[in-house]
Amino acid sequence: MSDTKRVTDEEALLLHSSGRPGKLEITPTKPLTTQRDLALAYSPGVAAPCLRIAEDPSLAYDYTAKGNIVAIISNGTAVLGLGDLGALAGKPVMEGKAVLFKRFADVDGIDLEVDTRDVDEFVNCVRFLGPSFGGINLEDIKAPDCFIIEERLRELLDIPVFHDDQHGTAIIAAAGLINACDITGRRIEDVKMVVNGAGAAGIACAELFCTMGVSRENIILCDTKGVVYRGRTNGMNQWKSSFAVDTDKRTLEEAVAGSDVFVGLSAKGAMTQEMVKSMAAKPIIFALANPDPEITPEDVKAVRADAIVATGRSDYPNQVNNVLGFPYLFRGALDVRATTINEAMKVAAAKALAALAREDVPDEVDAAYSGRRLRYGPDYIIPVPFDPRLIVTVPAAVAQAAMESGVARKPILDLTSYKHSLRTRLDPTADSLELILEKVRTNPRRVVFAEGEEERTIRAAMAFRAGGYGTPVLIGREEVIKEQLVAMGQPNVQFEIHNARLSDANRRYADHLYRRLQRKGALLRDCQRMVNQDRNVFAACMVAQGDAHAMVTGLTRSFGVAYEEIRRVVDPKASEPVFGLHLFITRNRTVFIADTTVHVRPDGKTLADIAVGAAAKARQMGHEPRIAMLSFSNFGQTPHPNTDPLREALSILDSRRVDFEYDGEMSADVALDYQLMKRVYPFSRLSGPANVLIMPGLHSANISAKLLNKMAGGQMIGPLLIGLDKPAQIVSMGASVNDIVTAAALAAHDSLPW
């Protein structure tokens, strides 16, 4: 298994401090360019919605962002596993929670850090903020304060109040329990359970398990002082007392003996192999302490092969991860304008997750996690976090439960249409990219970092290895790389380093290159010089000769130069063009742009081939391709020799009977604005706005991609080099460490067998 930390403290600090500090910004959703825009959005136009809301407060959901905003509120008294750090030190976590809300469910999160440890002050602060938000997510508040705060705020406010540290963990654990009981042939009403840890999460799990059907008398709760039994006075409170049982057992070891289920929300090492041996047949063990579980799955399996084990760790099967719950729970609650999140909604979320794990896993998810075999069974009782079905399944179940339990102020009349809206709410690119990266983690590769002496390259190689993607191989002088590591404060980091001039493989690589270039004007000594002196040629030879799976370069040379050097060694795939593809990702939308790097003025056949390749990549990234052949002209409006290749490409695609939508030639505004397209050109073949733009030439493609990268508000990935027979990626000279890691991982993925 991998290390508990996939990123270093230095990397995390750099991410949080680089560019605009932090992880959030406020972006307007309406145009604010002209004075008229401002007059409508603010004074005097803003008076109209104000007056309407004063007459009918429910209209705030129609005229403001209230219905999609959740406040993430903490006083920092129980920050992750770090303890009482205070409100300000907890802010990075709250910002991170806001990012997760947006990333997984398109919910806007606003973090609020309340600088008090007094329960009354905290409640009074938050209660008056209710009109601003559609829901409140309490976070990282110590027990028992969190119980009191949540209970009082739920009574005072008419919007959902949810403490994720309690109920988020409980929902995911409950889903796992449903399926673990099913697999082991148990009735949930009959299980004998030990819950170790009487904090917020432990109490909430026990409470939800009871709601699901577990008998309260069959749960033994333990804390640092042992079993919570009737008559105990030391370290008790009203929440622990509700789980006090008549028993002569006093220690965790005694409690576990003969039990069916162990749920740990405590500390590393709390569970031993001897305790595991003492449990009933087919024991269910949820060791959820983070970052290190109460007992590792390896230690459990060493003594009980019949056990089902879940942890909070992503590098083990059955991860109990709160991100499976809270974003989707709030999504469903907000969409029906729920007044609260009740037990029925939590149960619905748990049952939806459990049911999803029993369904056939989509090919792209299964491929990503192929090392784990995602089939319902002991090692797959909970869906994985990047399953694209979650955004549909869980919110719909929560919304329906809210309606059935009478807490929905805006019932959804057509659940089928609602599920469709959920399916299209998020751009699939992020999930697809993560699935690609996960597939690399389960099939680690050797990737050559050709510019190994560069600091950014070295940092990227460290991150690549820490991310679990495989073995980075650096090309460069060993003494220079070690000097860089010392300067970076990493003198003990070790890499596989190859000096092109001194490598034992030089003769073999030179012979390979000579066989390729001897009839293209190159002498053997020329090939020897290129291998000895050119790191891109050397790296490409490593890949071509099977000494590595893929390579990445680009920091120190222009794309054209790097591409030419790689092409001396590597051919295109048979009957496929090599081209560059950029992905431009904005809110809820991804646009693929090709060819941005290789063909200066492609002919019709090349454009058609590029369209086919770009469509395949779009599908791999989770999009159904709609291709537009771009030009300054729309459908022959301005006949010109420059538009002839585009029309020729269209004819070629017609003759091939390809299985994706395409049309052109058309201008960019028509391609991207579907309403304009259908109004002015109703005959267009596209069923929606184009998401793959085939550019007429390298000048327009490259300029467009770089302008978008520097001036627009989205994220750019690329250029991705597509069509080479051996995997290689060329980053831009200004690429960040993260850009290099992504390119290296994508190159690694291209090397995997399909």
Contact (Cβ atoms closer than 8 angstroms) between residue 541 and residue 509: yes
Domain count, the chain: 4
Q: What number is the average pLDDT over the span 19-34?
A: 86
Residue 1 lies in a domain: no
The share of the chain scoring above pLDDT 70, in percent, equals: 98
Active site residue 97: yes
On whether residue 605 sits in a domain, the answer given is yes
Does residue 1 surpass a pLDDT of 50?
no
Same domain, 547 and 605: no
What are the tokens at 387?
A: 């399953």
8 Å CB contact between 664 and 637: no
Looking at the fold, whether 119 and 177 belong to one and the same domain comes out as: no
531 falls within a domain? yes
SS3 percent helix, strand, coil of the chain, rounded to 5, is 45, 15, 40
Same-domain pairing of 177 and 301: yes
20 within a domain of the structure (yes/no):
no
Q: Dump pLDDT digits (tens) for 508-540.
A: 999 999 999 999 999 999 999 999 999 999 999
The pLDDT confidence band at residue 710, using thresholds 50, 70 and 90, is confident
- 625 and 527 share one domain: no
Task: Of 536, 449, 509, 543, give the one whose Cα is nearest residue 751.
Answer: 543
pLDDT of residue 467: 87
End-of-domain residue from the set 129, 159, 189: 159
Does a structural domain hold residue 535?
Answer: yes
Pick 208 or 492 by higher pLDDT: 208
Residues 585, 564: one domain? no
Residues of the binding site: 79-86, 139-140, 165, 290
Cβ neighbours of residue 449 closer than 8 Å, sequence gap 6 or more: 457, 460, 461, 464, 472, 473, 474, 475, 551, 552, 553, 740, 744
585 shares a domain with 465? no
In a domain, 574, yes or no: no
Distance CA 390, CA 215 (A): 30
How far is 333 from 399, CA to CA, in rounded Å? 6
Q: Which of 518, 549, 568 is the last residue of a domain?
A: 568
Question: Is 326 a residue whose pLDDT tops 70?
Answer: yes
CB 196 within 8 A of CB 276: no
Residues 615-644 have pLDDT tens digits of 999 998 888 999 999 999 999 888 888 889
Residue 3 has pLDDT above 50, yes or no: no
Instruction: Determine the pLDDT at residue 754.
Output: 62
Contact between 336 and 410 (Cβ < 8 Å): yes
Is pLDDT above 60 for 2?
A: no
- Provide CB contacts within 8 A for 718, sequence distance 6+: 580, 581, 582, 583, 596, 705
At residue 322, does pLDDT exceed 60? yes
* pLDDT of 323 above 90: yes
pLDDT for 386 equals 83
Tokens matching residue 519: 């009839």
Peptide bond into 144 cis (omega under 30): yes
Report, as an integer, the average pLDDT of 733-748: 92
Predicted confidence (pLDDT) per residue in 71-125, tens digit:
999 999 999 878 899 999 999 999 999 999 999 999 999 999 999 999 999 999 9
What range does the domain containing 639 cover? 579-723
Looking up residue 486, the CATH number of its domain turns out to be 3.40.50.10950
Helix ranges restricted to H, 184-247: 200-212, 238-241
Task: Indicate if 217 and 357 belong to the same structural domain.
Answer: yes
Task: Write down the mean pLDDT value for the chain.
Answer: 93
Determine the average pLDDT of the residues in 738-744.
92
The answer to whether the Cα torsion of 334, 340, 344, 346 is positive or negative is positive
Binding residues for a divalent metal cation: 139-140, 165, 290
For the ranges 362-366, 482-486, 571-575, 650-654, which has the lowest average pLDDT? 362-366
pLDDT mean over 302-328: 94
Domain boundary among 525, 544, 568: 568
Question: Average pLDDT of 675-691?
Answer: 95
In a domain, 424, yes or no: no
Mean pLDDT across 703-724: 87
pLDDT value, residue 397: 98
State both tokens at 565: 């050097």
- Mean pLDDT in residue range 273-286: 97
Residue 240 forms part of a structural domain: yes
Same domain, residue pair 249 and 318: yes
Catalytic, out of 66, 91, 97, 351: 97
Secondary structure of residue 216 in the 3-state scheme? helix
Three-state SS at 74: strand
Q: What is the CATH number of the domain that holds 702?
A: 3.40.50.10750
Q: Which of 12-26, 391-405, 543-557 has the lowest mean pLDDT?
A: 12-26
User: CA separation (Å) from 347 to 205, 344, 394, 596?
Assistant: 12, 5, 11, 50
For the annotated binding site for NADP(+), the residues are 79-86
**pTM summary value:** 0.80
Instruction: Render pLDDT for 341-359 as a digit per residue (tens, 0 to 9).
Output: 999 999 999 999 999 999 9
Are 391 and 468 within one domain? no
Same domain, 338 and 313: yes
CA-only gyration radius of the chain, Å? 29
User: What's the CATH code of the domain at 132?
Assistant: 3.40.50.10380
**What single letter denotes the amino acid at residue 654?**
D
Cβ(481)–Cβ(451) below 8 Å: no
Q: Cα–Cα distance between 265 and 169 in angstroms, integer?
A: 10
- Sheet order of strands, 470-475 included: 496-498, 470-475, 445-449, 550-553, 728-730
On whether both 287 and 314 belong to a single domain, the answer is yes
State the SS3 of 269-317. CCCCHHHHHHCCCCCEEEECCCCCCCCCHHHHHHHCCCCEEEECCCCCC
Alpha-carbon distance of 109 to 170, in angstroms, equals 22
If asked whether residues 185 and 95 sit together in one domain, one would say: no
DSSP state of 230: T
